[in-house]
Structure 1
Amino acid sequence: MKAQEETNFSRIAEAIGYINGNFKTQPGLEEIAEKINLSPFHFQRLFTEWAGVSPKKFLQYLTVEHAKKMLKENQATLFETAFETGLSGTGRLHDLFVNIEGMTPGEYKNGGENLVINYSFAETPFGNILVASTTKGICHIAFADQAAVELELLKAKFPNAAYQQIADVTQQRALYIFTHDWDKIGEIKLHLKGTDFQLKVWETLLKIPAGQLTTYGTIAKSIGRPAASRAVGTAIGANPVAFLIPCHRIIQSTGLLGGYHWGTTRKTAIIGWEAAMTDNEA
C-alpha cells in the first residue's frame, strides 16, 4: 500500500509539474495523461481520487488569475478577519488552535542538550514526512523524499539532543491535519527553535486561512514591519514545520507561486489541494 501511495503521488506530482509549467495553454486531459503514460480514463480517476476534483478543475485553481483573485479576496476580507479573530471563523482549520512555545535561551544555544526528541515517518497526500516532538510539542515536520538525509538534517539542528524513533500522541494528533478527522486534532503545541522575529512570522502564518494566499509584503505589514519583506522571506524560508505552519500559502504579489523549501511542484500540489477541499466544503 505504501509503495502504491508513493507511486500515485509521484504520478500526480509529475502531472502537476506539467500543468504548472503549461497552464497558459490550458492543456487537456489527453495531453496531460500522455505525459505521465496513463490512459485518460485512468489518469482522470487517479487524479480525482487524490485531489477530490477533476484535473480540469484543479487546473483552474493553479492559474495566475485565480491566484490573484484569491489574493484580492484574502487581503480585502478573509486575511484581515483572520488576524482579528485568530484561527476562528475561516477555512478548514477554524477549530484548530496552535500554540507556539519558543525554546529557552539555554535550549537554543546548547543545541538541544537535555532534550529528548521523538521522531517518526508517515505518509501524507504529498509524500513521506518526518515529524519530531519534545515533551512540549512538535519541533519539526519536513517532507522526507530521502528519509536518512532528512533525519540527519534534523539531528544537525539539535546536535546534543537524545533521539528515539517513537510515534507519540503529539505527533499522531498533528498528523490529523492531513485528514478530515478535525475533531481529533484538539490543541497542537509547537516547541520551536527560532529568534523572536522568526517566531512572530511563523505565528502570523498560522492565521492564514486554508485555501487562501497572501504575500511577503502583507505579512511584513501585519507584524508592524512593512519594510522588512526580505527578512520575512528569510524567516519563512527557515520554517521548521512543513504544512502545519503554512508557508506554502505565501506567493509573489504578481500572483506567481514562487519557490518553496520542499519543492515548487509540492507547493503547487498543496495550494491546489487546499483550494479544492475548501471549495468543496463551501
Structure 2
Amino acid sequence: MKFKNTLIRSTRIDSRLGDIVLAATDRGLAGAWFDQQRHWPDMAGWQSDPDHPALREAALQLADYFAGRRRHFDLPLDLSHGTAFQQAVWQALLAIPMGRTTSYGTLSSDIGSPAAVRAVGAAVGRNPISVIVPCHRVVGSNGSLTGYAGGLERKSALLTLEGARAAQETASLWESAR
C-alpha cells in the first residue's frame, strides 16, 4: 500500500502473534501490519512517533485485545487510502462481530455486489488495518480458513482468541509465541 501526499507516523509494537507496525495519519489509524505479511506498505518517508495519540491508543487497545480484555476497538480509523470498492469492503468488515465469521460470498452480498466474490476477496486481502478491521473473520463458504495476509496460523489464532474456533487448533502457536 502506498500512502500519497500524507504524513505518516509509525511505531512498532510486540504482540503474542509477532511484531506489528502501526501507522497513523492526522485522521486516525491507517495501518496495522504483522511483520512479514503480504502487502507490506512502502514506508519511505514515514516518521517514527510512538507517542502519536492514535498509535499509543491503538497499542493499548491491541494489548488489551491480545490479553482477552477487549472485545471492541474504539479508534479513529483512516481507511481513505483504498479505492471506493476497497473502502466499502473494509467498512463491511467492521460490522462482523467478535466471535463470529462470515463468508466472502455473504460479504459480497452485504455490500450489494453478490457477483464480486473474487474482488471482495482481493479487497479483504489488502485490508491495511489487520486485527482492528477484522478481515480474519472472513472464511470460505464451507467454513474453512482461506487466505490471510498475516498467515493462516495467525488467522486461526485470532479466531480462537475470539471464541470462533476450537482452542486446540492453535494452542501450539500461542505457546510458541510466548
Select the structure that is richer in helix. Answer: 1
SS of residue matched to 1:120: strand
Matches within 5 A, 1:96-107: none
Matches within 5 A, 1:177-192: 177-179=62-64, 180=69, 186-192=74-80
Partner of 2:22: 131
SS of residue matched to 1:141: strand
TM-score, normalisation: structure 1: 0.51
* Pairwise CA distance, 1:262: 0.8
* Counterpart residue type for residue 31 of structure 2: H
Partner of 1:173: 57
Note if 1:154 corresponds to 2:46. Answer: no
Equivalenced residue count is 159
CA contact (8 A) 2:27 2:76 kept: no
SS of residue matched to 1:233: helix
TM-score, normalisation: structure 2: 0.79
CA contact (8 A) 2:28 2:75 kept: no
Which of 145, 150, 164 is 1:262 aligned to? 150
How large is the RMSD of aligned CA atoms in angstroms?
2.7
d(CA) in 2 for partners of 1:244, 1:265: 17
d(CA) in 1 for partners of 2:75, 2:147: 30
Structure 1, unpaired ranges of 5+: 1-107, 277-282
* Pairwise CA distance, 1:232: 0.5
* Pairwise CA distance, 1:182: 7.3
* Pairwise CA distance, 1:155: 2.4
When residues 111 and 187 of structure 1 are mapped into structure 2, their CA distance, relative to the original with a 3 A threshold, is closer
CA contact (8 A) 1:128 1:145 kept: no
d(CA) in 2 for partners of 1:134, 1:241: 13
* Counterpart residue type for residue 173 of structure 1: E
Identity, % of aligned positions: 34
Structure 2, unpaired ranges of 5+: 165-178
Note if 1:163 corresponds to 2:78. Answer: no
